[in-house]
């Protein structure tokens, strides 16, 4: 059986090396294709294309900020949790009281990404209808957005269904292991000596 700490490390590594990399590559590709579409549009760009550009810029910026938060704060903390459990060391220090707080923020942001993806799809269809819908660049952009949606679905599934629950459980286990004995918290709690009498 895989040790829980190894599982945490493997999940973080998988997310960083595959899904975070893929997301950035596909966002860059979509930016380039979208720029080509804008360049081929008439001087006065059709309004739906301007809207698509804006929607995509918000989507990309929010998603990249989400990845950075995970890479700089959430994942390093989870890796330290795994290390502490494996080595018997102290729980890692954090600016938050419990991992459940940043995990809830990540879940909220992922829901925001899901909604933004729907908006992006709708704006894509409107923009394509407005300007040379048979142009191959639209087909290319549709393919990139489809690959991004498929990859994001698996990315979010791993985080929400596997990594976050396992990391929260690991943090709880570690805090139980390092919890002070009841006598250290309550001066009136019976000691072993008192109980023997
Ligand atoms: Fe992620
Ligand atoms: Fe995420």
* DSSP letters for 5-57: HHHHHHHHHHIIIIIIHHHHHHHHHHHHHHHHHHHHS-SS--HHHHHHHHHHH
Q: Distance from the CA of 174 to the center of ligand 2, in angstroms? A: 24
Q: Distance from the CA of 10 to the center of ligand 2, in angstroms? A: 16
| CB-based contact 57:38 (threshold 8 Å) | no
| CB-based contact 110:153 (threshold 8 Å) | no
Spatial separation of the C-alpha atoms in residues 15 and 186, rounded to whole Å: 44
Question: Which ligand ends up closest to the CA of 21?
Answer: 1
Q: Distance from the CA of 149 to the center of ligand 1, in angstroms? A: 13
Question: Which ligand ends up closest to the CA of 151?
Answer: 1
Q: What is the pTM of this model?
A: 0.87
Q: Distance from the CA of 197 to the center of ligand 1, in angstroms? A: 57
N residues, the chain: 197
Surrounding ion ligand 1 within 5 Å at CB are: 70
Q: Distance from the CA of 165 to the center of ligand 2, in angstroms? A: 13
Q: Distance from the CA of 135 to the center of ligand 1, in angstroms? A: 33
pLDDT of residue 123: 98
Q: Distance from the CA of 159 to the center of ligand 2, in angstroms? A: 6
Q: For residue range 89-126, list pLDDT tens digits in order.
A: 888 988 888 999 999 999 999 999 999 999 999 999 99
Which pLDDT band holds residue 183 (cuts at 50, 70, 90)? low
Spatial separation of the C-alpha atoms in residues 51 and 88, rounded to whole Å: 53
pLDDT(18) > 50: yes
Q: Distance from the CA of 88 to the center of ligand 2, in angstroms? A: 28
Q: For residue range 61-90, list pLDDT tens digits in order.
A: 999 999 999 999 999 999 999 999 999 888
pLDDT(135) > 80: yes
Question: Which ligand ends up closest to the CA of 75?
Answer: 1
CA distances from 146 to 23, 34, 52, 96, 150 (A): 12, 15, 16, 36, 6
Spatial separation of the C-alpha atoms in residues 12 and 8, rounded to whole Å: 6
| CB-based contact 26:151 (threshold 8 Å) | yes
Q: Distance from the CA of 15 to the center of ligand 1, in angstroms? A: 6
């Amino acid at each position: 059986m895989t040790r829980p700490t190894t599982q945490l490390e493997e999940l973080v590594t998988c997310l960083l090396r595959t899904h975070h990399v893929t997301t950035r590559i596909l966002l860059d590709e979509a930016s380039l294709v979208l720029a080509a579409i804008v360049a081929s549009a008439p001087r006065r760009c059709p309004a739906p294309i301007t809207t698509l550009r804006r929607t995509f810029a918000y989507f990309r910026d929010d998603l990249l900020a989400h990845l950075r938060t995970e890479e700089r704060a959430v994942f390093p903390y989870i890796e330290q949790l795994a290390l502490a459990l494996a080595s018997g060391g102290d729980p890692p220090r954090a600016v938050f009281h419990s991992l459940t707080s940043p995990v809830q923020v990540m879940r909220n942001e992922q829901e925001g990404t899901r909604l933004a993806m729907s908006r992006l799809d709708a704006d894509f269809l409107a923009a394509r209808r407005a300007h040379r819908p048979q142009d191959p660049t639209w087909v290319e952009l549709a393919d990139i957005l489809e690959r991004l949606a498929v990859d994001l679905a698996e990315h979010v599934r791993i985080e929400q269904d596997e990594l976050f629950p396992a990391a929260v459980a690991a943090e709880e286990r570690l805090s139980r292991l390092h919890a002070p004995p009841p006598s250290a918290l309550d001066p009136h709690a019976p000691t072993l000596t008192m109980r023997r009498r």
